[in-house]
Amino acid sequence: MTSRMAVGGGLTPRVLVVRALWRRPRLVGRLLGWSVVEAAPGFAAGHAVARAVDDGFAAGDVGAGLGWLALLGGLWALAGVGARQSLLTIGAVVEPFRDALARYVVAGALHRAGSGGAEGDGAVGRLNHQVELARDSLAAVISVVRSFLFALVSVVLGLLTLVPEVLGPVLVPYVAGLVLFALSLPALARRQRELILADERTAATVSGIAAGLRDIVACGAEDRAAALAERDVARQAAAALGLARLTAARTALLAVAGGLPVLCVLWATPWLVASGATAGILLGALTYVAKSLVPAFGALVHGVGVSGVRLRVSLARILATSGTPEPGPRPVAPRGVAVELRRAVFAYGPGAHPVIDGLDLRIPEGDHLAVVGPSGIGKSTLAGLVAGLLPPDAGEALVGGVPATLAERGARVLIPQEAYVFRGSLAANLAYYTTSAPGPRRMAEAVAAVGAADLVRRLGGYHADVDPTVLSAGERQLVALVRAYLSPARLVILDEATCHLDPAAEARAEAAFAARGGTLVVIAHRISSARRARRILVMDGTRVRSGTHETLVADSPLYAALTGHWTGAEPPGSPSGPAAEDAHGVPVLLPQPARLAGDPDRLDPGARAHLGEHP
């Protein structure tokens, strides 16, 4: 994957860095100003040493020699102040850069989560680690490049004004070293990227092993898991070793290149002396080269060769794996809320058995459908397809003639078994799905219809603060039901959304939604929910049947067993006896014994339900 993103104006690592500097011209100007102060001793060092030797100590004037050195010491003290201010200014530049990258990573993670994407264990944490690396690396690169440029200018000006004859012999090997250094950067970047990718693979493998440790032990796969971890650790070690070898070879080569300017000055000494250079001038030239030029070169090699490469690789990795993808198709307003599935197929992951396999289903607008079947048979998966939360692997799932995943969110609402209530006022919780706050009368009507009036009084009214931790599961379900009732959605899907209510409260809530208008789909927890529906869909693992309560009692052995109305001869492998009951004595839908369903985790290929208009 490339580091260029289509979103965000073609972001690249270079663009990000340029933006970080260009958008803060005042800070850049301040940094340049303090850098001049910091570089002042670099320009004055050679002249001060030359004057201290020639006009001071060599001439017998110790005071003059000490005076020049004292002047140089004062400049170094001033340079310390400049260095401190420069570092503070660099921090002011890179912190907003880090914050922008962090927002980019988090926004991308939230977008993928909201779109149904999955983040691997620790993926966001690893990207945030890359953000911190990028921040630190940018600070190091700015610091060393700035120091190098100002040191180079200071030394060139110093040598030109002190002994210009030595400038050529010094700069030729210096420039050659810079060229070799630049040529080594692409290889370093590749090695650094390989190390980062190897580190991510190792972290993902170890996280996966840790998450599935119980299953690994249960299956006796410890050796297999250990081999996978050892393989990735070995690859990471090899990548680190390759980077270390390349770094060592480059450092040795460039150390020689960095030391050649000093040798050139020493080699040219006889010629310089013959040209009139004094001992002070020679020491001053060596001071420029040995104390300013060579250290600046070493800092550049380390800073750009390590931090610069790390910056580029980290930014490329962030851009390649984060951010928001290309905008998808815009939501479409459905033409009504009739639901239709055409040969829909869905499986949880490649290679998994389909949970929904070739399902044809039609729910006319205004219908009230109950879905029954054993746990794990695919009822909640069907709800996810209808709600548009799960895209079918094959076939179609339509709402109002529009793919369910593209239909406007306001057209339907799904209430799961575990209801979500957030801290805040009760009114804010109830009005969460509305575009504008409903009036007191409308809210009171919804509360009364669903049967939550007692809960509202107990909590202290609509403006009372809600603490989700003190609400029971049934009370949270009541809040979610009122929230769905107040929403503009004309398609309501209740995925066991009343399972924590008593039968009377459940019947009242379902009756309220049935009378509300629109289309109602109920994933039934109790068989009484199915009896209240106009139409019932039975998912039993071998067949998918639909019909009314009376027809299914006669045609569906599973449904007949669940309702306790079994009649006729018992087919082989069918359950016998009455259905299980909850604490209130009401039949509930328990997991189906494997001897009836065969494989309860999937539907038979070709199992379909054809639902037409209700007669």
Domain final residue, candidates 288, 321, 354: 321
pLDDT value, residue 66 = 92
* Domain extent for 547: 339-597
How many Å separate Cα 284 from the centre of its chain?
55
Q: Residue 393: which CATH number?
A: 3.40.50.300
One domain, residues 314 and 367 = no
Kindly state the DSSP code that residue 579 receives in the 8-state scheme: P
Tokens of 174: 């210096």
Same domain for 255 and 371? no
* pLDDT for position 329: 67
Q: Mean pLDDT highest for which of 159-168, 236-245, 487-496, 581-590? A: 487-496
User: Do 203 and 297 belong together in one domain?
Assistant: yes
Q: Tell me if 6 is assigned to some domain.
A: no
Radius of gyration of the chain (CA): 37
Q: Are 355 and 303 part of one and the same domain?
A: no
Tokens, residue 553: 């009692």
For 141, the token pair is 């690169």
Query: For the segment 370-382, what is each residue's pLDDT rounded down to a tens digit?
Result: 998 888 888 888 9
Is position 229 within any domain? yes
Give the range among 80-94, 120-134, 475-489 with minimum mean pLDDT. Answer: 120-134
Angle at 497 between CA 599 and CA 397, to 5 degrees: 60
- Tell me the two tokens of residue 590: 């328990």
Under the banding of pLDDT at 50, 70 and 90, the label for residue 221 is confident
Here the CATH number for the domain that contains residue 104 is 1.20.1560.10
pLDDT at 178 over 50: yes
Please report whether residue 603 resides in a domain. Answer: no
Phi, psi for 607 (deg, rounded to 5): -70, 125
pLDDT tens-digit series, residues 410-427: 788 999 888 888 888 999
Give a yes or no: residue 308 inside a domain.
Answer: yes
Per-residue pLDDT, averaged over 462-484, amounts to 91
Residue 7 belongs to a domain: no
pLDDT at position 475 is 92
Least confidently predicted of 232-246, 325-339, 349-363, 541-555: 325-339
Structure confidence by residue, pLDDT tens digits, 322-347 = 655 555 567 777 888 889 999 998 98
pLDDT at 477: 93
- Whether residue 328 lies inside any domain: the answer is no
Query: Do 65 and 192 sit in the same domain of this protein?
Result: yes
Model confidence at 452: pLDDT above 90: yes
- DSSP for residue 292: I
Instruction: Output the pLDDT for position 321.
Output: 66
312 in the same domain as 368: no
Asked whether the predicted pLDDT for residue 610 surpasses 50, the reply is: no
What is the C-alpha to C-alpha distance for residues 360 and 471, in angstroms, rounded to an integer?
A: 40
H-state helical runs in 122-221: 123-162, 167-211, 213-218
Over range 95-123, report the average pLDDT: 64
- Residue 512 pLDDT grade (very low, low, confident, very high; cuts 50, 70, 90): very high
pLDDT exceeds cutoff 50 at 93: yes
Cα–Cα distance between 246 and 259 in angstroms, integer? 20
* pLDDT score of 96: 82
Mean pLDDT of 446-465: 92
Q: Does residue 329 fall inside a structural domain?
A: no
Q: 121 pLDDT exceeds 80?
A: no
User: CA 380, CA 362: separation in Å to the nearest integer?
Assistant: 17
**What is the Cα–Cα distance from 341 to 396, expressed in whole angstroms?**
6
Q: Is the pLDDT of residue 98 over 90?
A: no
Q: 506 and 414 share a domain? A: yes
Which of these ranges, 149-163, 468-482, 525-539, 540-554, has the smallest mean pLDDT?
A: 540-554
The residue type at 379: K
Would you list the DSSP string of 361-391? EEE-TT-EEEEE--TTSSHHHHHHHHHTSS-
The type of residue at 343 is R
Pairing between strand 339-346 and 356-363? antiparallel
Strand partners of residue 150: none
Q: CA 94, 99, 102, 108: dihedral to nearest 10 degrees? A: -120
| Number of domains composing the chain | 2
Q: Is the pLDDT of residue 453 over 90?
A: yes
Close Cβ partners of 449 (under 8 Å, ≥ 6 residues apart): 485, 512, 515, 516
Q: Are 312 and 355 in the same domain?
A: no
CA 243 – CA 245 distance, rounded (Å): 6
80 vs 576: CA distance, rounded Å: 89
CA within 13 Å, CB half, 193: 16
Helix, strand, coil percentages, rounded to 5, for the chain:
60, 10, 30
Cβ proximity of 301 and 210 under 8 Å: no
Query: CA-to-CA distance for 543 and 527, rounded, in angstroms?
Result: 19
599, pLDDT greater than 50:
no
Amino acid identity for residue 45 in this structure: A
Task: Please give the average per-residue pLDDT across 395-420, as a whole number.
Answer: 87
Tell me the mean pLDDT in the region 486-508: 91
User: In whole numbers, what is the pLDDT of the chain averaged over residues?
Assistant: 79
Residues 307, 356: one domain?
no
SS3 at position 60: coil
Kindly state whether residues 364 and 509 are assigned to the same domain.
yes
Give yes or no for residue 250 having a pLDDT over 80.
Answer: no
CB-count exposure of residue 417 (10 Å: 0-12, 13-18, 19+): middle
User: How much is the average pLDDT of 140-167?
Assistant: 87
Q: Please say if the pLDDT value at position 533 is more than 50.
A: yes
| The predicted structure's pLDDT at residue 592 | 39
**The two three-digit tokens of residue 362, written as one number:** 């039609």
In a domain? residue 4: no
Which of 464, 480, 336, 355 has its CA nearest to residue 411?
A: 336
Identify the pLDDT of residue 307.
79
Average pLDDT on 226-250 reads 86
Contacts of 21 (CB under 8 A, 6+ apart): 28, 93, 142
CA atoms within 13 A of residue 30's CA, in its CB half-sphere: 15
The answer to whether residues 282 and 353 belong to one domain is: no
Q: Are residues 297 and 353 part of one domain?
A: no
Query: Which of 7-11, 33-37, 125-129 is modeled with the greatest confidence?
Result: 33-37
Instruction: Give dist(CA 32, CA 590) in Å, integer.
Output: 74
pLDDT of residue 542: 59
pLDDT band at 173 (very low <50, low <70, confident <90, very high): confident
Q: Cα(324)–Cα(312) distance, rounded to whole angstroms? A: 20
For residues 64-77, give the mean pLDDT. Answer: 90
CB 139 within 8 A of CB 94: yes
Work out the percent of the chain whose per-residue pLDDT is above 90: 15
Q: What's the one-letter identity of residue 463?
A: H
